[in-house]
Structure 1
Amino acid sequence: MSLLNAVERACTRLAPFGWRDLLLLHGLDIASGTLREELARPLQINRTLPGFEDFSVSAMRGIEPGRPADSLLFHAFASPNVSTNIRGEALTEFPTAAEIEQVLNYVYGAVPPSLESFGDQQLAIAVFAYEYRPQPETVHRRQADLCFSRAGVARVGTATALYDPQRRGFLPFVEGQPSQMRVIPARYGAFIAAKHVGQPEQFGPMNAQPIDKDLEFWVPLHKLFDGDECLAGMDLRVQLENYQINEKIGQIHRRFRGTGWQEPDILNPPFVITQGLCHWADVDTFAPGLLVPDAKKTLVELAYYQGRPLSFMMPPNSGGLIHGRHRVHDDGSVEDLNELENVDAFVNAGGYRALHYQDAMADGWVRAHCPQLMLESIAAYSIIGAPDFFPLCGQRELKAWSSDPEVFPCPTPPCPEVWHTRVNPLCDVRFYINQSLAGHYFSPEDRGVTAIISHPQPSTTPHASPSVACAQRQSWLPDFASGVFGPGWEVGRGLVDAPFTNVLCGYQLASPFTEDARICAALGSYWPGVAPDSTRTFEPRSVSVTVIPLTDSETGQRGSPGWDGRSGPALIEVEGRSVVQYEAYEYSDYTRAALAGQLSLAMTGQTSTEQYHQRVLGMRRAYQAVGAGSDKEHRKLWPLLSFYQVDIPDDAFEAAQQQANYRLEGDVQYYGLYKRGVITTPTNNFKLRYVEIEQQVQLYMSQDALLIREDGGPWRKVDERL
């Protein structure tokens, strides 16, 4: 089937469902009997229509050969913001993933270029992860555009991927099953690319770094696909190959001595896993290039070697990055050390046999083969990362927002910190890739792999940027992944024999990933935008404060388990006084929770970027209201006991407004804080902690005003200017 035939078939299918009428408003008739000519003629684009506000201002045709962002049909099919018909009602049918790729191929193949037309540039066949994005998420933020990176980030899960045609992408939710999460794939494609030093106005990279003017980047020029319509005078066969590896367990036994395992055993599964990690999606449904992680029964699984559960000698001082809480006795019985008092000290001391658990995370590469082109093949870096518990919130956007002086003014540095640590997207990292990956396809000089770039821009003339919505889907590009390593969320930094080297390496992560998730979620969300902030779930500790508060439902305070299967703090009476009861952090075990299917992103994952911002700003205002606004140590004295969105009608909220003689407008949140006193362990349960209350403060907060009540006194409005 020719490229045009595939486009005609897609247009014929969609035309009766409102798509013909919608595109006729621009003068394009997708039901035309001469579609090739129809797509090539000039149009009068109506950029006031919803979804078309950010379509290229210089574009004027249904298909502009070689320029996807200037092609109206491709924009209409690929933009997640094109979702309503001419009456403003939701469209009921949308292009499939395969149809979008077929239109994209036609953009590149309508007038196929010759290889010679690319001039004397240094060319190669390079693989990129790519995505068509609304204007705010693009490299230059001038218009909707294709964005590319030589790094893609897929994500593990317990259910198969589900494509959402309206969003033109994927989300991890499983309807009616909150403890399940879908895998998130990543799309890769082969392109003729040229090597150039960074040129922010031409192709990027996004968020250009000072070093970029000296670094070389592969820049995509033309998509490669099968057939004789891709390059003039050539009949191509393009094949993508992928290799992924999870060697976290094996590297543990290289890093620590006396574990009981060494080569040649640690060269075999599950010490090193290269199979059962991912697969290519069905070509007819998704077109070539969609790499999909294999769904697992649980996020974490017991590791087996030679048909038996794999155990090892737990090394001392492992830094909490190895699960060692299931002790294996000589008779083969397994003891859950979470039932042992002072479990942290026991695990840190090591010296006992423990069970190994594995996850399905990995890193590796995707390469292209095209025998008809005598060009070097440049690999993309492939990451299969941990689940993103806030899939609608990106690291790049959070970095830009939290760096805005209008949001966080700082007239006199040093400025108060927004996060527990800095936020930095992986796309801003200029590390090279682990050279020990099979094939040795990455060099130390190749430091722009995770950067996000665009096609070279035909014009660099600035123009007014429209205000349009971001895509409401999980992105697989690295601005939605973390570039902060401690050790990391999706990927780690360093090598087993050089831990502080600026190199990206999957095996440097915790084994399994839930071990580090436990530590860093309780550090005020060490990785904002991907990890929940579970600080307030546990007793107050000296290492952190709440930064991005979870609601009472998300922490398990409303009768059902929280996102991590636990129950949050509770106000109880003990010997005639009120105390806050916590399940102690020491006895939390996210690996055990994952084995039981208790980790969930069903609630946290619904948080929009705007709601995420609101939570961060609201928590800062709450600290300000209790007199701890800019003093991090003072904040540690004021744990958050309760937080939720107020649903109207609410009798308690109405009574507070009446007493304060002030009405809050818009969305309202409730915050309950207390000044903590002595922390004790009840004699009848070493897994609990009681925290005395020295003072209680309740707050109702809207965007513009704040009501406060202290120790059960009257409600009053707070003057936040003071």
Structure 2
Amino acid sequence: MALIDQVQQVCDRLALQGWRDLLLHHGLDITATDLQRELTKELSTIDRNLPGFTDFAADGIRGIEPGSPARSLLYHALASSAVHSVNNNSEAYPTLAELDVIENYIYSLANRSLADFPNAVIAVFAYQYRIAARSPHGIHADMAFSRTGVARVGTEVANYSAARRSFWVESDDGDRLAVMPARYAAFLAVERRPSIDDAILEEQSGDRTRQFLFPVHKLFPGDECLRDANITLEFLEYHRNEKLQRVHTRGGIPVLSGFDINKPPFVRDSHNSRDLVQLQSVNASVLLVPQPTPQLVYTSTQRNSVTGRDEIVRFQVPPENFNNRFWTSYQIAANGRGREAPEYVNMRHLVATSATGEQRLVDLNQEIASEDEFLRFLADGNYEAAHFSDNSCDGCISVKVNGLARNLAVRPAYSLVTAPDFFPLADQIAIERWVDNFLPTLRDQFSQGGPSPLSEGRQPPNPELLLPNSNAKAFQRNETAIAAIVSTAPRNTNPVASQLDSLVSFLPDAASNVFAPGWDVSLGQDNQGNFYAAYGLGSPFPEDAKLCAALNSFWPAVAPDAARTFGILSAPTALPLLDSELGYYPQHPRVKAAEVTSQKGWDGEYGPFFEDFDGLFVNFANKDRSDYISNALAGQIRVSGLAQVDSRELIQRMEALHFCIRVLPPNDTVSTTQLILVCAEKIADWSSRSDRAQSTLQGSGYLYVFATVQGSEQLTRDVRRKRLRVRNRFTCQITQDTLCWQQDDSEFRCVVNEPI
């Protein structure tokens, strides 16, 4: 079927869903008898004041502009997450396959031949159409391309949200984590240093001397892609998870007798396992889809050659020394800047084997009631702890293209399959720009980490990854710009107004850059240098997710801040989560007053609260007993409480926190304060609250209650909780302009917010 006929089918279906009427506002009739002529005619009545069209390219004048999706009104209307049909249901929006058809038609009308691209290579890109504010140049809505894609693991099948034009992190029932695919396509591309016609999202120092691949023409099957060519495409993938193997080969832990660490589950790749990822065709493009698992982590078995039985893979925990523990996690120290093995390994689940060979998993958090005995048992080691598997991995997406007049080199994309993004609507670059514009220094807010997106990293990908069905290496060490996001720079240099955006990204600006060890990818190392690799993350990944979250949110646009959950004084909360997001313990005062119901937070833990116990205390989770692996096994790690929190809301919370810490004694910084944020609530309108400090406190804001503490941590009857005695309590009622605060039960004092 000719492409125009496929486009006709798309238009016919969507015309009945309100798109005909919407596009007629711009003088485009998608039900015209001669659709090709209608789509290529010049439009004189494009209304850029209509919602969703304010960021349509200023020089876009047709329904289809040959070779340019961003200047094609039809494509913008159907692909932009800011444009919506009057019929608000999933059937009213284009599918990914239908968008792919429109893309192919746009490139077909360019009427190019391979000879028009004398220096081209074939490259695979992850790509996405974005509103102006998130495009690489920031001028108008446009395609964003990267040679790195970021898919995410989950416990449920992928959930495409048509109105968002992207996948959504929650399952349909909102209770489980859906896997998040990444979309790729093959393009003719040119490798060069950036010119004035190229845009790089958040260009980095030295980029003008680096080599980047820029896509110039999409490849799709058939004889309409290029003149005098009838091509076919076949996408291929190779992915590898080798964390368990590296715990032994690079982590220094001996292998238990009878286990083969060169076989699954110690090492799993596309040559020996099909349970990591799958490729799913979307017309001429492809989705890399992680395979869902019942739990985010799980135990695995291997036939033990000594006993002849299938046994839970495990390791003997070495005794504690000066550098192999972090809290109650086993720590593998780095040798230099990068990592050669997972930094943290869960060691709190013992594998008990009976005389008959039957095995059971023993959660030491639950088994050992005495805190001293628990910590001593972990320190002594010499017990067998379960290895846990997860489906995080890295790899490559490549393509075979047949039918071209000459052979071209193929450059694969780097593919990450990583941890869930708990803030899918938060734009990490927006938070980074807030840091640059609002804070004197990054360290005023974040004692560790910060909003550095992977797209700003300039490291090569894992050099040990193989091409699919091959023993050849997929990447070269000079490919340092592989995580960058690029596009063509527009001639128009007048930015348009920003818009609300519900698009969820799978490009590297939605992932964290590397740091101790990282949330999405780690910094690998060998004797030739550093590179990106997935194997430096925790084994399994929730093990270091707990530590990242507990240490003031290393990655504020993907990792929730759980510092106040655990009462961490050394890395104070930088990004406040609300009490409802951290969870209400059964003895929380609001639960006891029947104001709220007890519920666990996003991570399966409960948040902090004030407790009357022979005086006033802060009650918080015991960091040594908290176990995200146990919580994941119980299905208690959820994104539902956080998924709707966008970057604007995160920034407002951080500004409110900054306001409080600047005013409360001793007028400290967020990253160094000794104030513990105990309670945090969002207030829709202070004027409706009978407890507000003064009548001028109006509009939305927050209620933050802080404490200073004294003495040492005390145990509670619940081994998963601890408490600290309160010295002083500070209650803060906050709006954007005003802070009213009181110390203990004194009178409220009110101050007006002043620019820093």
TM-score, normalized by the shorter chain, greater than 0.5:
yes
Q: Is 1:667 aligned to 2:700, yes or no?
A: yes
Give the Cα separation in 2 of the matches to 1:709 and 1:258: 54
Q: Is 1:234 aligned to 2:229, yes or no?
A: yes
Residue 256 of structure 1, CA deviation: 2.7
Contact map agreement 2:713 2:722 (CA 8 A) in 1: yes
Residue 251 of structure 1, CA deviation: 1.0
SS of the aligned residue for 2:616 comes to strand
Give the Cα separation in 2 of the matches to 1:352 and 1:399: 44
Larger mean CA deviation between 220-229 and 614-623 belongs to 614-623
Structure 2 residue identity aligned to 1:164? S
Match runs of 1:134-533 below 5 Å: 134-178=131-175, 180-199=176-195, 201-261=196-256, 265-274=260-269, 275-281=274-280, 283=282, 288-306=285-303, 307-315=310-318, 316=320, 317=324, 318-319=330-331, 321-329=344-352, 331=354, 332-339=359-366, 340=368, 341-342=371-372, 343-344=374-375, 346-347=377-378, 349-373=380-404, 374-404=407-437, 407-408=438-439, 410=440, 416-418=444-446, 420-438=448-466, 439-454=472-487, 456-457=488-489, 459-462=490-493, 464-495=494-525, 497=526, 501-533=529-561
Give the Cα separation in 1 of the matches to 2:81 and 2:268: 36
SS of the aligned residue for 2:558 comes to coil
Give the Cα separation in 2 of the matches to 1:66 and 1:263: 59
Match runs of 1:508-587 below 5 Å: 508-541=536-569, 543-557=570-584, 558=596, 559-575=598-614, 577-587=615-625
Give the Cα separation in 2 of the matches to 1:592 and 1:151: 32
Structure 2 residue identity aligned to 1:643? A
1:453/1:324 Cα in 2 relative to 1: closer, same or farther (>3 Å)?
same
Q: Is 1:126 aligned to 2:123, yes or no?
A: yes
Give the Cα separation in 2 of the matches to 1:98 and 1:684: 57
Larger mean CA deviation between 264-273 and 314-323 belongs to 314-323
Give the Cα separation in 1 of the matches to 2:100 and 2:666: 53
Give the Cα separation in 1 of the matches to 2:578 and 2:130: 31
SS of the aligned residue for 1:166 comes to helix
Structure 2 residue identity aligned to 1:105? N
Contact map agreement 1:259 1:314 (CA 8 A) in 2: no
1:35/1:254 Cα in 2 relative to 1: closer, same or farther (>3 Å)?
same
Aligned to 2:116: 117
Query: Where in structure 2 are there 5+ consecutive unaligned residues?
Result: 304-309, 325-329, 332-342, 467-471, 585-595
Larger mean CA deviation between 627-636 and 12-21 belongs to 627-636
1:634/1:241 Cα in 2 relative to 1: closer, same or farther (>3 Å)?
closer
Give the Cα separation in 2 of the matches to 1:416 and 1:94: 44
Q: Whose strand proportion is higher, 1 or 2? A: 2
Give the Cα separation in 2 of the matches to 1:90 and 1:176: 17
Contact map agreement 1:423 1:484 (CA 8 A) in 2: no
Aligned to 1:641: 678
Structure 1 residue identity aligned to 2:457? V
SS of the aligned residue for 1:681 comes to strand
Structure 2 residue identity aligned to 1:460? R
Residue 289 of structure 1, CA deviation: 0.7
Structure 2 residue identity aligned to 1:335? V
Give the Cα separation in 2 of the matches to 1:511 and 1:527: 19
Structure 1 residue identity aligned to 2:477? P
Structure 1 residue identity aligned to 2:395? G
1:142/1:584 Cα in 2 relative to 1: closer, same or farther (>3 Å)?
same
Contact map agreement 1:147 1:453 (CA 8 A) in 2: yes
1:247/1:629 Cα in 2 relative to 1: closer, same or farther (>3 Å)?
farther
SS of the aligned residue for 1:194 comes to strand
Query: Where in structure 1 are there 5+ consecutive unaligned residues?
Result: none
Structure 2 residue identity aligned to 1:654? S
Q: Deviations over 1:283-306 (max 9, x none)?
A: 46xx63111111110101112112
Give the Cα separation in 2 of the matches to 1:141 and 1:112: 29
1:90/1:186 Cα in 2 relative to 1: closer, same or farther (>3 Å)?
closer
Aligned to 2:655: 617
1:37/1:197 Cα in 2 relative to 1: closer, same or farther (>3 Å)?
same
Structure 2 residue identity aligned to 1:618? A
Aligned to 1:103: 102
1:27/1:620 Cα in 2 relative to 1: closer, same or farther (>3 Å)?
same
Contact map agreement 2:186 2:285 (CA 8 A) in 1: no
Contact map agreement 1:50 1:84 (CA 8 A) in 2: no
Contact map agreement 2:524 2:530 (CA 8 A) in 1: yes
Q: Deviations over 1:98-157 (max 9, x none)?
A: 111100100001242011112x4x211100000000000011111100010000000001
Larger mean CA deviation between 88-97 and 22-31 belongs to 88-97
Contact map agreement 1:434 1:503 (CA 8 A) in 2: yes
1:228/1:628 Cα in 2 relative to 1: closer, same or farther (>3 Å)?
farther
Structure 1 residue identity aligned to 2:92? E
1:349/1:214 Cα in 2 relative to 1: closer, same or farther (>3 Å)?
farther
1:328/1:103 Cα in 2 relative to 1: closer, same or farther (>3 Å)?
same
SS of the aligned residue for 1:565 comes to coil
Larger mean CA deviation between 303-312 and 417-426 belongs to 417-426
Contact map agreement 1:156 1:182 (CA 8 A) in 2: yes
Residue 5 of structure 1, CA deviation: 0.7
Give the Cα separation in 2 of the matches to 1:491 and 1:393: 19
1:168/1:419 Cα in 2 relative to 1: closer, same or farther (>3 Å)?
farther
Residue 89 of structure 1, CA deviation: 8.4
Q: Deviations over 1:11-39 (max 9, x none)?
A: 11111222111111111110001001111
Give the Cα separation in 1 of the matches to 2:730 and 2:505: 39
Q: Deviations over 1:71-119 (max 9, x none)?
A: 111111101111144xx9899711111111100100001242011112x
Contact map agreement 2:442 2:450 (CA 8 A) in 1: no
Residue 264 of structure 1, CA deviation: 8.4
Contact map agreement 2:686 2:701 (CA 8 A) in 1: no
Structure 2 residue identity aligned to 1:310? V
Contact map agreement 1:424 1:482 (CA 8 A) in 2: yes
| Superposition TM-score, scaled by structure 1 size | 0.92
Contact map agreement 2:550 2:568 (CA 8 A) in 1: no
Residue 182 of structure 1, CA deviation: 0.7
Give the Cα separation in 2 of the matches to 1:91 and 1:277: 29
After the TM superposition, list the runs of 4 or more consecutive aligned residues in structure 1 that deviate by more than 6 angstroms: 88-92
1:510/1:91 Cα in 2 relative to 1: closer, same or farther (>3 Å)?
closer
Residue 421 of structure 1, CA deviation: 2.3
Contact map agreement 2:349 2:361 (CA 8 A) in 1: yes
Aligned to 2:335: none
Q: Deviations over 1:529-587 (max 9, x none)?
A: 1111001111343x210111111111112511111111222322223x12122231111
Match runs of 1:11-26 below 5 Å: 11-26=11-26
Give the Cα separation in 2 of the matches to 1:414 and 1:602: 29
Aligned to 1:50: 51
How many residues align structurally?
A: 697
